[in-house]
Chains A and B, each alone.
Chain A
């Protein structure tokens, strides 16, 4: 049934910019401060105050515009968006309406079948955030205006996504870009990245859009996909029953997994935008744009492709490593410090970062940059494995030590005497001893119980505290056990 329908999704993504101060006043933007402490007459909306624009916001927005192939408008103005809500003390939000600073851009997303799709960006504009309302009390609503005036960019996409999966990919790509650029921390759970969706469906082959609904309150990546799927199905079901979809806003309820229509607000969309007379126009010339162009880092899609070609990494590895800029740079720094540089050691570095380091940063919820294991030390550890100085198993123990104390692997190896035992004559001596002490096991092995090899390997490891080179142990064991046959 659903095959007859096509989904149309457009996203509006809000990103809180990582500035030190608010958009139009010098209050700090620190998250988690005491309620109503990061405030001044300007963000409190007192009469007679004058907003002054924070230049950093314009720089950040131009940077995002350039990274998403937008046209940067040489003249842009601010507008007032008028509505009443307790967490908006001025009674209007300063935003942009006509002449947004960036428009007509696009980004590329990757689809399941490895093909790519271009998603258009209608516009990116600057605006300020509202405060926070707390509705937990029975009879009152409490208001904290710390967030009032915190700078946002709103990125509006074209209605070009055709499934919840595509919307998810687009949103992930946007998050990746803003975090690579260092203009937003991209944390949906804490609300520094927010996403609203416009959703409609139509029969395949139809040319006109049908009525859309707006879905809000999706405060995690998983919720976005779920909420969209819910809404798509709801609309299709309505049409299948011969009913129609009404234009409304729905709020996603993550606990109940349903989207609930917001109370009707027939007048609410009449925002009566008009140019803000308190703020002067922003003019951006070529020189300014070129200065910002110079600061664009290598973007994730490009980095991903380069990791595959330059380091011969599998696509999966490259994807994982480039998800976050910090991780990608950590990897590259590790590679740079390797003594032995070849596809095998690159893959080894990738494995260590993907399995060990990413596990730790996920468990401890810290940035990879805050780990005590520095890239230069990880490189040393990988060198020690690839030149046979230590075994992979011992390496894990050394890594655990490095995590705790940040010591260099060589220091730990020497201190603990962990150098891998690869001396064949010494290993042979140990093996001879073990075989002599366990004649009955040797007999069983020779009678065909080949899995008993594990027992001997275990004994060798016990006697050498795990330091024996397992490859050599296996060779000598097999030679000795089979020879006497």
Chain B
């Protein structure tokens, strides 16, 4: 399995990242190296093995429907680069 530069561009776009041509080449090469390494796992026969979505063998960890503590609006907004109390402020999303 390997990825093309087109696929790397696609993934970058989904992650809202932009790179120049040299970076793209580099990342494509690096990602392929990683994929090739992981490829080794394919040597194992996994027929009849259920995919594992969780490494801990636990099920049904729940909380009851009881209201707990919240944090204040001030605290919530504290880490954001831009705000207009009591809202977070971001560049316009739609026109």
Show the binding face of A for B, using Cβ within 8 Å: 19-21, 25-28, 34-41, 44, 52-56, 58, 75, 77, 82, 84-86, 133-135, 137-145, 263, 267, 270, 272, 275-277, 279-283
Contacts and interface: CB of A to CB of B under 8 A. Distances in A.
A145 B70 CA distance: 13
B65 to A, nearest CB: 4
B65 A20 contact: yes
B59 to A, nearest CB: 4
B94 A135 contact: yes
Interface in B1-46: 10, 13-16
B8 to A, nearest CB: 14
A27 B76 contact: no
B68 interface: yes
Interface string B57-95: 011111111111111110011000010101111111110
B53 interface: yes
Nearest to A284: B60
B68 A21 contact: yes
B63 A53 contact: yes
Nearest to A272: B14
B56 interface: yes
Contacts of B48: none
A86 B90 contact: yes
Contacts of B15: 84
Contact of A143 (B63, B64, B88): B88
A39 B71 contact: yes
A36 B83 CA distance: 11
Given A140-B91, A143-B90, A280 B73 contact: no
5 contacts: A20-B66, A39-B70, A133-B93, A280-B60, A282-B59
Given A86-B93, A280-B54, A280-B60, A40 B71 contact: yes
A84 B62 CA distance: 28
B90 A21 contact: no
A135 B93 contact: yes
B68 to A, nearest CB: 3
Contacts of B76: 36, 39, 44, 145
B67 A21 contact: yes
A140 B54 contact: no
Contacts of A267: 10, 13-14
Q: Which of B10, B54, B76, B90 has the most CB of A within 10 A?
A: B76
B83 to A, nearest CB: 9
B53 A282 contact: no
Contacts of B53: 77, 275-277, 281
B54 to A, nearest CB: 6
A35 B65 CA distance: 22
Contact of A36 (B10, B65, B86): B86
A145 B88 contact: yes
Contact of B89 (A28, A54, A140, A276): A140
Nearest to A82: B14
A26 B68 contact: yes
Contacts of A34: 73, 86
Given A140-B84, A280-B56, A281-B54, A37 B62 contact: no
A40 B67 CA distance: 12
Contacts of A27: 67-68, 70
B14 A280 contact: no
A54 B65 contact: yes
Given A52-B62, A142-B88, 5 more contacts: A26-B68, A35-B73, A36-B76, A140-B89, A275-B53
